A and B are shown apart, each in its own frame.
Chain A
Amino acid sequence: MSMGSTVSSRSELYGQRQRRLIDAIELREPDRLPTILFSHFWVARYSGMTCREAMYDYEGLAAAMRKAVLDLEPDAFQPVHSLVAFGPTMDILDYRQLEWPGHKGLPEDVGFQYLDAPYMMAEEYDDYLLDPTGFMLRTYLPRIAGRLEPLSQLPQYPGVLHTRIIQSMETYARPEVRRALEGLIEAGEEMQKMRAVQSRLIEELKDLGFPVASHGTSHAPFDVAADYLRGSKGAMLDLFRNKDKLLNLLDRLATLIPPAGITAVKAGGGNMIFIPLHWGLDGFMSPKQFTTFFWPQFQKVLLTIIEAGIYPHVLWEGDCTSRLDVIKDVPPGKCVYFFERTDMFKAKQTLRGTVCIRGNVPASMLIAGTPDEVREHCKKLFEVVGDGGGFILDAGVGVPDEAKPENVLAMYQLAKQCVY
Chain B
Amino acid sequence: MDARGKQLVQQIAEMQEEEAVKLAREMLDAGYDPIQLLAHCREAMEIVGKRYEEGEYFLPELMLAGEMLKAIGDMAKPLIKQDAGGATAGTVVIGTVEGDLHDIGKNIVTFMLEINGFRVVDLGIDVPIRDFVDSIKEHKPQVVGLSGFLTLAFDAMKKTVEAIQEAGLRNNLKIMIGGGQVDETVRNYTGADAFGLNAMDAVSLCKQWMPA
A residues touching B (Cβ–Cβ < 8 Å)? Answer: 99, 106-107, 110-111, 113, 115-116, 232-233, 236-237, 239-241, 283-286, 289, 317-319, 341, 362-365, 367-369, 396, 400-402
Contact = CB atoms under 8 A, between A and B. Distances in A.
A363 B182 CA distance: 9
Contacts of A233: 63
B88 interface: no
Contact of A111 (B60, B150, B154, B188): B150
Chain A CB within 10 Å, residue with most, of B152, B188, B198: B152
Interface residues of B, number: 30
Interface string B147-164: 000111011000000000
Nearest to A366: B151
B64 A236 contact: yes
Given A285-B58, A286-B58, A110 B152 contact: yes
A369 B185 contact: yes
Contacts of A367: 151, 154, 186, 189
A236 B63 contact: yes
Closest 9 CB pairs of A and B: A364-B185, A368-B189, A236-B60, A400-B151, A236-B63, A364-B186, A239-B60, A286-B58, A113-B101
B167 interface: no
Nearest to B57: A286
Nearest to A400: B151
B210 interface: no
Contacts of A364: 154, 181-183, 185-186, 189
Contacts of B58: 283-286, 289
A42 to B, nearest CB: 10
Chain A CB within 10 Å, residue with most, of B57, B102, B151, B189: B151
Contacts of A368: 154, 185-186, 188-189
Contacts of A369: 185
A360 to B, nearest CB: 11
Given A116-B102, A283-B58, A364-B154, 4 more contacts: A284-B58, A285-B60, A365-B185, A402-B152
A237 B150 CA distance: 25
Contact of B181 (A111, A286, A363): A363
12 contacts: A111-B150, A240-B15, A285-B58, A285-B59, A289-B60, A341-B181, A364-B183, A367-B186, A400-B151, A401-B151, A402-B152, A402-B154
A183 B60 CA distance: 39
Contacts of A402: 151-152, 154-155
Interface string B79-103: 0000000000000000000011110
Chain A CB within 10 Å, residue with most, of B57, B63, B104, B182: B63
B64 A99 contact: no
Interface of B: 15, 17, 56-60, 63-64, 67, 99-102, 104, 150-152, 154-155, 180-183, 185-186, 188-189, 197-198
B49 to A, nearest CB: 15
A400 B100 CA distance: 15
Nearest to A284: B59
A318 B60 contact: no
Contacts of A115: 101
Contacts of B152: 110-111, 401-402
Contacts of A240: 15, 17, 60, 64
Given A237-B67, A362-B185, A283 B198 contact: yes
Nearest to A319: B197
Contacts of B99: 106-107, 110
A265 to B, nearest CB: 28
B126 to A, nearest CB: 9
Contacts of B56: 286
A417 B81 CA distance: 74
A239 B102 CA distance: 22
Contacts of A236: 59-60, 63-64
Nearest to A41: B152
